[in-house]
Structure 1
Amino acid sequence: MVCQMLKKLNEYEKDSRVKLVILKGNGKAFSAGGDCVALVKYITAGHWSFGASFYRKQLILDYIIATHDKTLVSLIDGVVMGGGAGLSMNANFRVVTEKAVFAMPESSLGLFPDVGASYFLSRLPGFFGEYLGLTGARLGGAEMVACGLATHFILSKDLPSLEKELDGINSRDPTVVFKVINNFIEEPSIKSTSAFRSMDIINKCFSRKTVEEILSALENEAKNGADSWIVAAIKSMKAASPTSLKIFLRSIRKGRGQGLDQCLIREFRMASHALRKTVNNDFYEGCRAILFDKDKQPKWEVPKLELVTNEMVGQFFTKVDDDDWEDLRLDARSDDANLFLSRL
C-alpha cells in the first residue's frame, strides 16, 4: 500500500491535470496504522532490517505528503491511529466527522509515537501533545479540531457531497479548497469530560521534566477527586513500557525545535533501534501481549521508570551500528525520497 501510494503521488505531482489529492479510508476507518503483526512475522522469519526497510518507505511517504506540490485533503471518518496519523496529519486540510477517533497508542506496544508525531504533537497547545503521546488517549473529531490536529469538522452524512464538490475544483489554489470545505462545516461540541477542557491541569502536569514527575503530578491531582481522564491517564502510563514513555518525552521535546524532516530522520533512528533490540525487546513483547497472545500482560524488560537510565534512552537517538542500516535522508525532497521515487 505504501509503495502504491508513493507511485500515485509521484504521478499526480507531475500531472498538470491534477489540481488536488484526496486521502480517505476504504471502509469504516481512515487507517488504524501499520500492520505490526505482519511486520513482526516477517522480521522473525528473516532479519530486523526488513522492518527498517518498510519503515523507511513509510516515512518517505509521510514526508512526500507533507511536501507535495498539490493540495492534499484528508477526509477522516472513523479511526485514525499510528501510521494513519502520519498519512493524514501531514496533509494541508484535515477534515474530520463525529465518527473520527484519533490516538497514538504506541507506548502500550513497547514502541513510541512516530511518523512525525514529535513534530505535529509538539505543535499542539501547551503540553497537550505530551498528554496524547504518553497516555495514548483517544480524541473525537470535535477535540481534534479544538486542539489543531484537524482543520475542519463536518457531519459524516455530508462527506459524499463535499467530495463531489472537491472533485469539481479546477484550481490549484488552496484558498479555493478552503472555501469549498467551509460550505460544509459544523460547530462541534466538546464533551464536558474531555481532557481538553482541563488544559490548566494538562500544562501543570505534563510540563514536568521527567516522566516520573509527570506521573507523580497526576497522582497528586487524583487525590483531590480526579476527573475520569486523569484516572485513565495514570492507568495507561503505568501499563505502558517505561522505556517507551521516556523515549517519547525526549523525542517530543526535541521535536519542538526541529522541522518535520529532522523529526522523521530522528524517529527512523529510534524505530530502527527498537526493531533491532539494541536496548531491549519491548516492541516484540508488547506485540506478543497485545496482538499475538492477547493476554494484555506484557513483561517489560525494564519494568520500572526509575530503572530506565538516560544512557538507555540516549541510545535510541544515535546512529545504528549495523552494516545493514543507514540514516534516512530527506534533504529538500532529494536523496532517499527522490531516489525511491525514481525506481517506481
Structure 2
Amino acid sequence: MRWSVGAWASPERVRKAGGVGGGRCRVGLRLETKLSLLEEELCEANLDDPSKICKIFDKYAEQPVLKEKSAFRKLHIIDKCFSHRTVEEIFSSLEKENENAEINGDWISAAIDSLKRASPTSLKISLKSIREGRLQGVGQCLIREFRMVCHVLRGEVSRDFFEGCRAILIDRDRNPKWSPSRLDQVSYEMVNHYFSRVNDEGWMDLKLPTKLNLPPSAMAKL
C-alpha cells in the first residue's frame, strides 16, 4: 500500500482547516519539510498494528497555531451541544448557549437557523445514521444508507425529499413545506422505518460481495 501524506496534509489544506490538519496527527504548517520522512515511515510500517501507525504520527505531530475564528477553538461547545441523544436536546443546548452569544459568537445563531430550515424528518434520520455509523464497518454503512435512500425515494413516511427538490430546483421559492412540520411529530417508529429492509419484492436489498481470505486488518472500518 502506497501512502500519499502530502496530498491530504498539504499546507494549503491545513490553512483551509483553520490551522489544523486532519485526524489524529494534527499536522501543522511547520511539518511541511518532514512530510517526506513521515510518508517513508508509513510506507515501511506494519499496517496490521494500528498502534504503531499512531506512534509514527505522534512522532511528527506539532501543535498548530489556530486562527482566531477557527472552529477548533469552539470544539468544547460543539461537543457539548451535539453530543445529546436527540435532535430536540441538541436544539435546547444550542439555544441555551446562544444566550451567551457575545461570548460564544454568532455562529450558534446561524447553526440554529440552519437546523430550523431543515426537514424535521431528515434531521432525525441523519442523527440516527451518524450515531449508528460510528460503530459499523463500511459494508454495514453502505447497506444502512442504501435502505435509507430506498425509503426516502418511496416516500412512505415523508415526501420531504421531493418537497425539497421542488422548493430548491423547480419552483425555486426556497420555502419548503415539510410534512411532518415539527420535530415532535416525527416518532421513533417513523425514524426506525428508514433503517429497515424494504418489504417489497420489487425493491432488492443491497448485497455486497463476500471478502475471502482477508485478515481482520484488511477489513475497512469507519
TM-score (norm 1): 0.47
Q: Read off the aligned partner of 1:201 and give its amino acid letter.
A: I
Match for residue 198 of structure 2 among 310, 316, 320: 320
Q: Which residue of 1 aligns with 2:98?
A: 222
Is residue 234 of structure 1 aligned with residue 109 of structure 2? no
The counterpart of 1:142, out of the listed 6, 9, 17, is 17
Structure 1 residues 305 and 240: CA distance shift in structure 2, 3 A: same
- Highest Rg: 1 or 2? 2
2 CA distance for matches of 1:275 and 1:239? 21
Q: Is the 8 A contact 1:142 1:189 kept in 2?
A: no
Structure 2: where are the runs of 5+ without partners? 45-56, 213-222
Determine if contact 1:289/1:295 at 8 Å carries over to the other structure.
Answer: yes
* Paired position in structure 1 for 2:81: 205
Q: Does 1:304 align with 2:182?
A: yes
Aligned equivalents of 2:210 and 2:2: distance in 1? 18
2:72 to 196, 204, 217: 196
- The change in CA–CA distance for 1:74 and 1:287 in structure 2 (over 3 A counts) is farther
Q: Mark the CA change 1:72 to 1:217 in structure 2 (over 3 Å): closer, same or farther.
A: same
One-letter code aligned to 1:98: E
- Cα distance 1:190–1:228, how it changes in 2: closer, same or farther (>3 A)? farther
CA contact (8 A) 1:95 1:150 kept: no
Q: RCO (CA 8 Å, sep 6+): is it higher in 1 or 2?
A: 1
* C-alpha displacement of 1:251: 1.1
Find the aligned partners of 2:5 and 2:152 in 1 and give their Cα distance: 30
- Alignment: residue pair count: 190
Give yes or no for contact 2:87–2:123 (8 Å, CA) kept in 1: yes
Identity of aligned residues (%): 48
- In structure 2, the CA distance between the partners of 1:206 and 1:271, relative to structure 1 (3 Å rule), is same
More strand by share: 1
Residue in structure 1 matched with residue 159 of structure 2 by the alignment: 281
1:98 aligns with 2:6: no
Distance 2:75 2:154 in 1: 38
Cα distance change of structure 1 residues 142 and 195 upon mapping to structure 2, 3 Å threshold: closer
Pair 1:291–1:196, CA change in 2 (3 A): farther
Partner of 2:219: none
Normalised to the residue count of structure 2, the TM-score between the two structures is 0.70
Q: Deviations over 1:150-177 (max 9, x none)?
A: 98677xxx9xxx9xx9xxxxx9x9527x
- Give SS of 2:8's match: strand
CA distance in 2, matches of 1:251, 1:215: 18
- 1:285-307 residue CA offsets vs partner (Å, 9 max, x unmatched): 11222233332211111111111
Q: Give 1:293's match in structure 2, choosing from 148, 171, 177.
A: 171
Please state whether the residue corresponding to 2:197 is helix, strand or coil. coil
